[in-house]
Amino acid sequence: MFGRLADVVRRRPAATALVVLLLSAALAGMATQAVTVDAAEVDNETTRVLDELEAEFGEQRSVLQIVVSVDGDVRSVPAWRASRAIQQAIRADELADTLADDAAPPAIVSFLAGVEQAEPADDVEVRERREQAIAQAPPEQRRMLDGLLADTDPPGSGLLLVFQDTTGLGPDEALAQQRALAELVAEVPVPDGVSVEPFSFELMLTGQDIGPEIARLFSTALAVILVVLAVVYWLRPQAGQRWRIGRRTAADVGLTLVVIVLAVVWMQGIGVLLGPDYLGLIGYFSPQTDIVPILLVGLGVDFGIHLLARYRDEVGGSGAPGSSYRRAAATIGVTLAVASGATAIGFLTNLTSPVDFLRTLGVLAAVGIVAAFVLTLTFLPAVRVLLDGRAASRGRLPREALASQSRRGLLRAARHTAWLAERAPVPTLLVALGLAVVGGYGFTQLDTRFEFTDFVSQDEPMLATYERLVDEFDGGFEETTSVRLAGDLDRQPVEEALAASLPRATALPAVDAVQEQQLRADLGRVVLQTDAGLAGAEQLAADLREAFTPVRDLGVQVTPASQEIAQAEVSDAIEDTQLRSLVTALLAAMALLVVYYWLTERRPLLGVLTLLPVGLVLAWTFGTMAATGIPLNPVTATLAALSIGIAVPFMLHVASRFVEERRAADGVVPALRRTAERTGGALVGSALTTAIGFGVLTTSTLVPFEQLGYVIVFVIGFSLVAAVLVLPSLLVLQERWGRATRHPAPGDTFRLNQNIAPR
């Protein structure tokens, strides 16, 4: 099949390149129709309950939290003046009409409640009047007022809560109303030494655009990889050929980058076709899926490196570009096909993710990888054959330089990596397995975490305010938890049971107050002010179900729901699906490799041996993540896909080349050394480009992407080690076992440790 494809490319290179460009233009047109939405939210039963309640009852109020801070005790006269100035500015502005004055608690609640009426004489009076006001407050309000002071000694910060009426407003209108209030508060003049920070979770999430961040990462990765490719593609020039070699290197670098850019175009165009506006198989693009081009840079470049390395070997020997490409495609092309298939399988395991944008990301990445493979076997060689054909016809093809690439110092050094496999395969495997056991234990210790703030840039000013709210105010007062009531509610016993349940709910440690109740004949909502946070969300849900037992006993469905509960459920789902997706991906990749080696070599066991080091790479990576404190989150949970996408090609290139060299060599050791020598340079070049392409992610201001960058660098390093040390040891032992079972004759030339110079 690949031979026939190569025949088309080498006989009609110009037509092949033209067809690819026309198809790319058509897909580029589709890509312009891409719709990008903010898809950082999750889609599970809890969020669907929240969506149902919002659609039925709407959001009736929003809260802006204002952090007032001083250097010392915030129960002071300067802080009082700042609080008073903020409240007066709000009341004097037209935004006063948006305040929820007809609801409880009041529209504006201050950390200095009870002190607002007259200016205190000094700080002592501020504290005394505040303590008197709290002592006289009803018990249900006392806990809330206490929580408005920072949990530090002395409290250096306090909170003002400003509630706005959002009845009848859409999400965008409510957000615009709150943003206007935040801008007003930020402009209020306050005494020296006092700082004011307005905060809203929605404002923080919508106030930043990660598009420029992704663009910076992509352009940086391309620029750095360009330099690395120039080093990898450079040939040792013969006398007077330096300029010619320089042009060839620049052409190969340019072709490889063009393939990546076209692969991104294909991915985006096909992604639109698969999206909601056409086939409806995946969701819309999102800022988070914009990381896919970076993944394609890191993974797709490998195809060009390996294909051109093999093509150079062939054309350096024969001097015939067309036939050289056919031989390269018939060998390395098959390996690249299996590698791209295994990578696509790995990414498609994201379809089991509970996070919508990760499912879309998995499909887009799989499409992009397949596109990069197709372009590498069509457009890249078509242009390369055209250029080399013209050079050969003019007698300018640098055959000697191409043939000498295997004599470069890096490749000669790669030959010595076979030493451990030759002399100590069993100890090498025992050490590798021992480290894998340690890594497996690390997997059991990994923290699983999903928070919406993970996708907020570390440069976002409100993020620091949010962290302060978490540290000093138990997350603040923006958290609300809805309790959905479904069933026959229009009954006197239900009303009585609800009246009995509400005090049980407000007595819970994480519940501050009942914010509102809305009941209809068959659907009702109770909104509670809570402070459970992500850590206590699941326990709060269980406690609320218990508190509403009198209602549940009457056959009414009781479902607690909040964004924090949804996030906690996603964390559990990630933990539950991670192992399953890993096993599924590994088994699918193993099946692919077993079938491949059975069809091509009648050696299905070779497929198992090729994949075993991938499992070790995963275990080592998990152990390193545990040691460095990197958790499993929706982004690093793509580890299964990325590990397979990176590690499998490393193993495939070694195993396939070993099989090829074994046919021509007199023994396993020469074959092993020739394999290391011939594939070592490409593997190291691939490792460098992939590591740099993904390593750029470590500079991201988005924590999950930064962590993913480190994880992938771990995977790349471990994949290279496994490919040059562990897999050769397995191949040596498999050869030894195969010889033993065949009862070799006394004169058999195979000797495991003999020192035979490679041919």
Q: At what angle do helices 321-328 and 379-393 cross, to 10 degrees?
A: 150
Query: Of the ranges 182-196, 253-267, 646-660, which one carries the lowest mean pLDDT score?
Result: 646-660
d(CA 432, CA 417): 16
pLDDT tens digits for range 474-483: 888 888 899 9
pLDDT band at 207 (very low <50, low <70, confident <90, very high): low
d(CA 590, CA 584): 10
d(CA 322, CA 320): 6
**Average pLDDT of the segment spanning 411-427:** 74
Question: 661 or 371, which is more confident?
Answer: 371
d(CA 621, CA 712): 9
pLDDT band at 753 (very low <50, low <70, confident <90, very high): very low
> What does the H/E/C string look like for 670-693?
HHHHHHHHHHHHHHHHHHHHHHHH
pLDDT value at 742 more than 60: no
pLDDT value at 547 more than 90: yes
65: which strand partners? 161, 199
Report in angstroms the alpha-carbon separations of 64 from 92, 453, 561, 565, 747. 17, 18, 21, 22, 87
Mapping DSSP to helix (H, G, I), strand (E, B) and coil, where does residue 103 land?
coil
The H helix count followed by the E strand count for the chain is: 29, 8
pLDDT band at 333 (very low <50, low <70, confident <90, very high): confident
pLDDT value at 590 more than 80: yes
pLDDT value at 379 more than 70: yes
Q: Where in the chain is CATH 1.20.1640.10?
A: 2-32+209-452+568-741
Position 102 scores a pLDDT of 64
pLDDT value at 571 more than 80: no
d(CA 557, CA 316): 75
Which of 429, 436, 478 minimizes the C-alpha distance to 453? 478
Residue given tokens 């040596």 in the structure block: 732
Residue type, 58: G
Query: Of the ranges 392-401, 619-628, 707-716, which one carries the lowest mean pLDDT score?
Result: 392-401
Q: How many CB atoms lie within 10 A of CB 277?
A: 12
Report the top-level CATH class of 480-561.
Answer: alpha beta
* Cβ proximity of 121 and 106 under 8 Å: no
Contacts of 688 (CB under 8 A, 6+ apart): 228, 232
**Average pLDDT of the segment spanning 603-608:** 90
Tokens of 253: 């670098």
Position 196 scores a pLDDT of 96
Per DSSP, helices labelled H in 418-460 are: 419-423, 425-445
Secondary structure element (H or E) that encloses residue 255, with its range: helix 242-274
For the chain, percent of residues with pLDDT exceeding 90: 42
Tokens of 294: 């970076």
Q: Where in the chain is CATH 3.30.70.1130?
A: 480-561
pLDDT value at 61 more than 80: yes
pLDDT value at 689 more than 60: yes
pLDDT value at 105 more than 70: no
CA dihedral 612, 616, 621, 626 (to 10 degrees): 130
- First vs last Cα of the chain: how many Å apart? 31
Contacts of 750 (CB under 8 A, 6+ apart): 667, 668, 735, 739, 744
pLDDT value at 759 more than 60: no
Q: How many CB atoms lie within 10 A of CB 726?
A: 26
Q: 339 — phi, psi (to 5°)?
A: -65, -45
pLDDT value at 96 more than 70: yes
* Cβ proximity of 197 and 465 under 8 Å: yes
149: which strand partners? 158
pLDDT value at 756 more than 50: no
- From 1.20.1640.10, 3.40.50.150, 3.40.50.720, 1.10.150.80, which CATH number describes the 2-32+209-452+568-741 domain? 1.20.1640.10
Question: 448 or 247, which is more confident?
Answer: 247
pLDDT band at 745 (very low <50, low <70, confident <90, very high): very low
d(CA 217, CA 36): 19
**Average pLDDT of the segment spanning 72-101:** 94
pLDDT value at 224 more than 80: yes
**Which CATH fold would you assign to the domain 58-199?**
Alpha-Beta Plaits (3.30.70)
* Cβ proximity of 122 and 130 under 8 Å: no
pLDDT value at 757 more than 70: no
Position 146 scores a pLDDT of 86
* Cβ proximity of 626 and 443 under 8 Å: yes
Position 739 scores a pLDDT of 61
Position 186 scores a pLDDT of 95
Contacts of 165 (CB under 8 A, 6+ apart): 60, 61, 98, 99, 100, 102, 103
pLDDT value at 576 more than 80: no
CA dihedral 39, 42, 45, 50 (to 10 degrees): -70
Report in angstroms the alpha-carbon separations of 135 from 111, 148, 506, 513. 14, 15, 19, 18
DSSP 105: S
Question: 205 or 718, which is more confident?
Answer: 718
Question: 1 or 362, which is more confident?
Answer: 362
pLDDT tens digits for range 486-513: 999 999 999 999 999 999 999 998 998 8
* Cβ proximity of 617 and 438 under 8 Å: no
Q: What is the mean pLDDT of the chain?
A: 86
d(CA 5, CA 95): 68
Position 702 scores a pLDDT of 84
